[in-house]
Amino acid sequence: MPQTKTPARPRKRATAKKSSAGSARKAVARTATSAPVMAFVRGSGNVFADMGVPDADERLAKTELARIVRGVIRGRIEQEHWTQARAAKALGIAAGDMSNLMRGKLTGFSQERLEHFLLRLDMEVRIQVAPRPAAKRHAEITVEQVAAFS
């Protein structure tokens, strides 16, 4: 009599995803034949606040300044054929620091230092201060890149 095999049940496995900060996120259940089941939550616009990090507004401002610095440097690399070594020289930093900056490793880079880099890259930096709008629960620090100042 021929033997018939019963189809194997897909095994479930849990995978833990790691955030950029290195902490494990909630495990996602998946089977070998299906996509992971995930719930989505709309963020506040500040990933640091969403994760409960202290000084979230300041961290976001520093991250945004670094993003702008990297964008300006990438533009110079593409348009003016700069190397990272040339960019490091323009900013007055070591090549290793330049590499860390370009990879988003911001330890050792203060907000003030990033603002100074923008000045060395011939970018205008303006800091504006205003009272908190009544519609907001708390005052914020924001960074915004504009095409030009009026």
Structure tokens at 94: 């070591």
Cα separation values, 95 from 48, 81, 83, 100, 149, Å:
28, 17, 10, 9, 32
Higher pLDDT, 39 or 113: 113
Mean residue pLDDT across the chain: 84
**pTM for the full predicted model:** 0.69
- When mean pLDDT is compared across 8-17, 37-46, 69-78, the lowest value belongs to 8-17
Contact criterion met (CB below 8 Å) for 89 and 120: no
Place of tokens 């914020």: 140
Show Cβ contacts of residue 119 under 8 Å, excluding neighbours closer than 6 positions: 125
Structure tokens at 50: 């969403």
Contact criterion met (CB below 8 Å) for 95 and 143: no
CA 39 distance to own-chain centroid: 22
Res. 111 pLDDT band, cuts 50 70 90 = very high
Show Cβ contacts of residue 64 under 8 Å, excluding neighbours closer than 6 positions: 142, 143
